[in-house]
Structure 1
């Protein structure tokens, strides 16, 4: 069982809208790949919230895990794409997911939780930070913690970043987020020194660093695996590529796959995401090339 904690929202592009949010994207991919997933989130009692609830219901998520906020709207993000189809985000504040109540999440029956996934946007407020950190403190021994740092200034809570790093045993971040972490904790400037310093300071067993078109690197103990970015013929946008990468990393970790094969699959999957509009494919056949290796290994 994988428990995913965090935001679900509406990505509002110039000409269209898509359901998104890093935790939702991550949960959706793993669900489609056949993993048992519980997604804890909160939406508003509005048309966006009803659209999201309908979509989650259709895809087999439990409505009992989705809180309805009577006072705050469903989260929205205005997305602008630059000439390279790279997004810039304008994230609305004081929305439903900022008021997620994990004290009533009802996880008493969730035995055998192998992994908890969480990010930092859900912790941008003091309330959100307290909720997530307390939730992680109460996890069962042996439950893995996958932290996907998503630092979107000004939506950054320093206490949340620090607490999240201390809880994480698997950490994913991009190059700009690595720089922000280095500055926040006064770490070494050189990446070759910063990565092992960061992993040792926070007891992180596995760290994934994504660099967009320059590929990615994964560090596990004293091993480093680097891969170039997947060659994609047509890039519609890069929204959610990192979330897809994270989902395949988690899948490989849960199945006990070798890290080199896991990184290869994660890279291919992220490249495929860049070829669709938004972060979530409409066609379930999108997953066929990735679902079969999962079944073979399991």
Structure 2
């Protein structure tokens, strides 16, 4: 029984240092699995070596890939990733690729109906086939978690607004918050932007990641901040994805908003201190980081 479905892109990040398995939905599923949840992926790969290698990777990480579809025409997704002068990753997301072509299969809707959480993003909505499938599945999804992931030029306002209207939980970063808020007016503070989006789209839970400065969580109008954890950053790939996995796990475990934010920020920091989106770690290391900060 899979309690969480992660929908969308799986791919290879082609970094200067080499190729790493990636895609936010896959990264989130990996971290959910590490945290003791039972996620399943809905995605699509090509009939090529990259696709085969992704399946092998998922199998070694015990992530359910039974619903990853095979495409006979399009290749497995790739992203050319390079760091800018500030150390932030810049992504050239190749298209069209297999995950642009995710279809509704016989077992897809029953799978989504039985899951407690359905995680999706805006990137998988860039192509009509995967977008239509996404909106079909959202009709039957239970708690809908939007990890917005705005990557120019792979989104447009109308589709993003349609996705926001579906969300029960919304996660975004600071620049995404500002970009969306600016569509509707001139808001001076992050709190004002969050409040406007929460009210306009009726989203109970909004989480905004602030990089090294931690995160904000607004639950039904109550704002909780966390200042984050100081670590030596290896790269930021997958940090936000691990943050989301920790958030959902904490919500399932009925932790308080403060405990939820602390746990999520700690895992995000731990992952940022290691290379790649899916580094190995033990859950105990998250608690060690939290306890270490408490002692400071």
Aligned to 2:102: 100
Q: Of 285, 289, 293, which aligns to 2:285? A: 289
Aligned to 1:119: 121
Aligned with 1:34: secondary structure? coil
Aligned to 2:291: none
Aligned to 1:250: 248
Deviation at 1:33, TM superposition (A): 1.3
C-alpha RMSD over aligned residues: 1.9
Aligned with 2:110: secondary structure? coil
Gaps of at least 5 residues in structure 1 are 293-298
Deviation at 1:150, TM superposition (A): 0.6
**Matched length:** 286
Aligned to 2:260: 262
Q: Of 73, 95, 112, which aligns to 2:75? A: 73
TM-score (norm 2): 0.91
Asked if structure 2 preserves the Cα contact closer than 8 Å seen for 1:44 and 1:71, the reply is yes
Residues 1:161 and 2:160 are matched in the alignment: yes
TM-score (norm 1): 0.90
Counterpart CA distance in 2 for 1:126 and 1:185 is 26
Counterpart CA distance in 2 for 1:160 and 1:196 is 21
Aligned to 1:296: none
CA offset digits 1:41-85 (Å, max 9, x no partner): 101111110100111122333443010111111111111123443
Aligned with 1:64: secondary structure? coil
Aligned with 2:259: secondary structure? helix
Aligned with 1:108: secondary structure? helix
Deviation at 1:267, TM superposition (A): 0.6
Asked if structure 1 preserves the Cα contact closer than 8 Å seen for 2:112 and 2:118, the reply is no
Farther off after superposition, 51-60 or 67-76: 51-60
Counterpart CA distance in 2 for 1:267 and 1:225 is 13
Aligned to 1:147: 146
Counterpart CA distance in 1 for 2:207 and 2:5 is 20
Gaps of at least 5 residues in structure 2 are 289-296
